[in-house]
Amino acid sequence: MAGRLTVCVFLFVFVLHLPRVANAADAFVLSEVHVVGTDQLSSDDVIRGLHLKVGGQTSRRKLIDVCSQLRKLKLFETTRCTFTIHGNGISLTVFVKQAGMPVVFDNFVWISKPELVARLKREIPLFMPVLPQSNGLTNDIIRVLQEVVSERGLDAPVRYDAHFWTNRGMNVFYVESISTPIKALQIEGTNAPSPEETLRFSNFYTKENFSAARLTWVVRWVIRDLYKSRGYLRAVAADPVIHFLGEKDGSFPVQVVLPISSGDLYVFDSVKFDGLATTHAASLVSNWNLKRGEPYNESYVNEFISKEILAASWAVHSKTESDVALPCVRIDATSKQVSLTITVQVPRKTYTDTNTSMKHLNEECGPFMSQLTFSPVK
């Protein structure tokens, strides 16, 4: 009996000293955090934004919850986490796939965009200048921007446009019901249009309140109407400069400066009419007024297509439908000469088919291609 008791006690002591098997609730020391797949968030941003502490106690369960929290914010197209254990240390690696639209501060004209981004980054570490629509940070961004507005002494709400501008590829935040008149539009850079041309163009624009979102359209219109019409087909705009002119009678007037580099001048060489326009080529050529050696004028080309081709009786099918004209531009990189082929086709039945034709023609023509033009007859 005594021998059996001794054996039992010995076995009991042995079991107490068996190594403990690790489980998900075990404590580790967080050694490192890595972010892979984006240059908009640093490891420090993730650490601060998710309330982690390198060198502090954590567990796999806690890190799994942290990754789930990050995923629910919908800041990326995909989010995946992995853990690596070294002794009692554990490192976290976050793999993401970047996605989203630019964040636009529409009419905060008294403060610069870099200042707003720095403020948001300080108070919302996970903030990025590019975010998916209606992500989990939207309310936090509104809260911080509302503080900025209040500090200016304004009693006006900050809104997020979840419809019009998001459908056009921008996350737009704006201050409701404030006046931001545009006093002047100025264009700077090589081969800028004359002050008279700029003034004529800007007459419509200076009647509006300033909108950073709408300005992205205006920049495209400036390049289309004031540069591509003069043969500068590769003009490039830098970031607009907004000069706040000081608060006056409750309004916030601004001057808008567009720095634009014109690039090289391209000249017209030849035009060819193809497809359904082949049989009408002689007549079309006789009406063509852009002469060889003159600056290539994209506006003239589009107007010619609209008036001389798509409005012609042979191209009209009904009051609301006409043929499709696909202008294809080929450029000689050495001589800077432009050869143009305008192919006329019957209308496609679906947008998908039209896009397929556009893609096919683009592959044949190369990367430089004029705007697709097809206008219903009015």
Q: Has residue 12 got a pLDDT over 60?
A: no
Domains and CATH numbers, the chain: 28-97 (3.10.20.310), 101-175 (3.10.20), 182-261 (3.10.20), 267-365 (3.10.20.310)
Residue keyed to tokens 């004529």: 200
Per-residue model confidence as pLDDT tens digits over 16-40: 333 344 454 578 999 999 999 999 9
Instruction: Tell me the average pLDDT across 149-174.
Output: 96
Q: Has residue 13 got a pLDDT over 50?
A: no
Long-range contacts for 191-197 (Cβ within 8 Å, ≥24 apart)? 191/227, 191/230, 191/232, 191/262, 191/265, 192/260, 192/262, 193/226, 193/227, 193/230, 197/226
Instruction: Tell me the average pLDDT across 263-271.
Output: 97
Strand order through the sheet with 57-58: 57-58, 28-36, 89-97, 78-86
- Average pLDDT, whole number, for the chain? 87
Instruction: Tell me the average pLDDT across 349-358.
Output: 37
**What is the distance between the alpha carbons of residues 13 and 160, in angstroms, rounded to a whole number?**
66
Q: Has residue 316 got a pLDDT over 80?
A: yes
pLDDT top residue among 126 and 372:
126
Residue keyed to tokens 């081969």: 191
**Given the DSSP bridges, would you call strands 182-188 and 254-261 parallel, antiparallel or unpaired?**
parallel
**Full-model pTM:** 0.80
Backbone angles phi, psi at 242, to 5 degrees: -110, 115
Residue 353's pLDDT is what? Answer: 36
Residue 322's pLDDT is what? Answer: 76
Residue 346's pLDDT is what? Answer: 85
Instruction: Tell me the average pLDDT across 58-84.
Output: 95
The confidence band for 56, taking pLDDT boundaries of 50, 70 and 90, is very high
Cα–Cα distances in angstroms (integers) from residue 286 to residues 281, 295, 303, in the given order: 9, 19, 16
Residue 26's pLDDT is what? Answer: 76
Residue 318's pLDDT is what? Answer: 77
The confidence band for 294, taking pLDDT boundaries of 50, 70 and 90, is very high
Per-residue model confidence as pLDDT tens digits over 234-243: 999 999 999 9
The number of helix segments (H) and strand segments (E) in the chain equals 10, 15
Q: Has residue 223 got a pLDDT over 90?
A: yes
Nearby residues of 71 by Cβ (< 8 Å), 6 or more positions away: 79
Instruction: Tell me the average pLDDT across 336-361.
Output: 63
Q: For the ranges 152-156, 227-231, 317-321, 323-327, which has the lowest average pLDDT?
A: 317-321
Instruction: Tell me the average pLDDT across 57-77.
Output: 95
Q: Has residue 371 got a pLDDT over 80?
A: no
Residue 357's pLDDT is what? Answer: 33
Instruction: Tell me the average pLDDT across 179-201.
Output: 96
Q: Are 190 and 169 in contact (CB under 8 A)?
A: no
**What is the distance between the alpha carbons of residues 283 and 305, in angstroms, rounded to a whole number?**
13
The confidence band for 335, taking pLDDT boundaries of 50, 70 and 90, is very high
Residue 350's pLDDT is what? Answer: 40
Instruction: Tell me the average pLDDT across 42-49.
Output: 96
Per-residue model confidence as pLDDT tens digits over 89-114: 999 999 999 999 999 999 999 999 99
Q: Has residue 296 got a pLDDT over 80?
A: yes
Residue 348's pLDDT is what? Answer: 62
Per-residue model confidence as pLDDT tens digits over 318-333: 777 778 888 999 999 9
The confidence band for 149, taking pLDDT boundaries of 50, 70 and 90, is very high
- What percentage of the chain carries pLDDT values higher than 70? 85
Residue 374's pLDDT is what? Answer: 31
Residue 352's pLDDT is what? Answer: 38
Q: Has residue 351 got a pLDDT over 70?
A: no
